[in-house]
Structure 1
Amino acid sequence: MAEKENSNSAAGATPKDDKKPTPNREIPGNMPYTTSVGVFKRAVQKIPVSERPPKFNKDFLNTVFEITGGSSIPVIPILKKVGFLTSDGTPTSYYSEFQTDGGRASAALYALRTGFAEIFKRNQYAHKADRDKIIDAIVSITGLTRSDKIVGYIYGTFNVFQEYAQGADDNKSALASSPSVSDLATPTAERASAPPIGLNGISYQINLVLPATTNIEIYNTIFRSIRENLIQ
C-alpha cells in the first residue's frame, strides 16, 4: 500500500518513496522519473561501490544492490534512458566512468544531458542551476502546474544525478557527449582513400555536425583533428 503524500508539500521537494509505483503518465519532454526517488537514489549510490555486471538485470538489482519490490521497477529503465545501460542491459562506458572518482561528475553530467535533454536546451548549465530554475524548466516543457506531483518526481530524479554533476568539467563533458570527428568522418574517409574503379574525378562531401557550445577550444580541437586525420 503506497504511503500517502502530504498534500501541502511544496513542488520540488523530494517525494516519499511509494512501495507500489503507478505507471508513468505520458508527459511532454520524455523525461525519466520515478515515484520512488529515494529508492532510485540508493541504486545510483551503489554503482560506485559494486562490481560492474556483464548485464544489469533484475537479478543483479535484487541480489547485489539489495533493491527489491515494486519501487525497484523503474531503476533499470531510467539507467537505460540516461545512457548508463544499453537496451539489453549492458553497462556502457559512462556506467564505468561513474564508478571512478575522477570520472563520476562527467558521467553524471552526461546522464543529465542525455535523459533530460529538453532542460539543457533551455539552460546549458542546468546541472548548476537551483531547484526553482529546474522546476521552471520542467513546468515550461511539460505544461504541468508547479503543484503537480509529477513535476516533483521529475525534479527529484534529475537531482539524483545533479548532486554528482556539480563538479564536472563542462568543456570535457561537452566533447565527451558529442560524436567524435573520427566517428563522423571515418567511413567517408576510407571510401575516399580507396582506389577509383574505372572513374576519375570522384569527390566526396563530408557533413560535420558540431556541438552547440560557446567554448572556442572545443571547435579548435575538432578542426585540429580534421586537419590531422583527413586533410593530408
Structure 2
Amino acid sequence: MASDSKKDKKSKKSSTISQIRQIFKFTYADDRSLPWYMAVAFILPVLVAVAICLVMRTGWLTWILTILLGVMVGVLLATITLTRRSDRVGYRQMDGRPGAAGAVLANISKAGFDFPQDPVWIDPKTKDAVWRGSGRTGVYLVGEGDYGRVMKAMNREEERVRRITQGSAIPIYRISVGRGDKQVPLEKLQRTIIRKKVKLTSEELDQLKGRLKTLQMRQSSLNMPKGVDPTKVHVSRRALRGK
C-alpha cells in the first residue's frame, strides 16, 4: 500500500511537471519574452528577502528561512506569470475563430454557471452563433459574429426565454463577443459574466435550468439548420495549449 501511494505521488508530480513544460512550450512559441518575465517574477522576491536580511542584520537561521520564503514566493509568482501569459496567447489564437466564445463559456464553472456546448442558433454560411446559459446571476445570451445578425438572433432567443420565465424577475443578459464598440473582447468574456450580481437561490437556479434544458431540447431539432454540425465550430483551449 505504501509503495502504491509513493508511485501515485511520483506520477502526479511528473504529470504536473510535464503539464507545466507543455504550457511553457506552447506559450514560448508565441511569446518569446516569457522567460524574462518569469525570471523577474522569480528573482524579485529573492532579492527582497536578501535586502530584508541585510537591513535587519538577522542571524544565519533567519537568513535561511527568509531566503527559502523568497524562493517559494518567487516560484509562485513565476507560475502565475506563466499561467496569465499562456491565457493571453490562448485567447489571441482563439480570437476570431468560429466557436471560440463557446470554448470560453464551457470553462466557466463558478456560481453554478451552465453553458451547453451546442449553440441555440447558428448561421450555416457565416458561422455566427448564439449560446444560451444560466447561473445564479440570471440567463445569458452570448453571441459571436456579425453584431447585427447576432442581435436579431438574440431578440428571438430572448422572447423564448421570457415565455418560460414569465412572472419572475430573472435578468437576461445579452453579450456580443468581438472587437466592436458594443462588443466584449473574447479575453474579457469570462470576467464579464462572473462579475454580475447573484439574483437567484440554488433552488430557483435548479428550476431555471430545468426549463432551459426543456427549451433546448425543443429547439435542437427545429432551430438547427440542416447539414450543420455544431460540434465542428468548437475550439478547445486545452488543445491550443498542447495538452
TM-score range, shorter chain: under 0.3
Q: TM-score normalized by structure 1?
A: 0.27
Q: Which has the higher helix share?
A: 2
Q: TM-score normalized by structure 2?
A: 0.26
Q: Which has the higher strand share?
A: 2
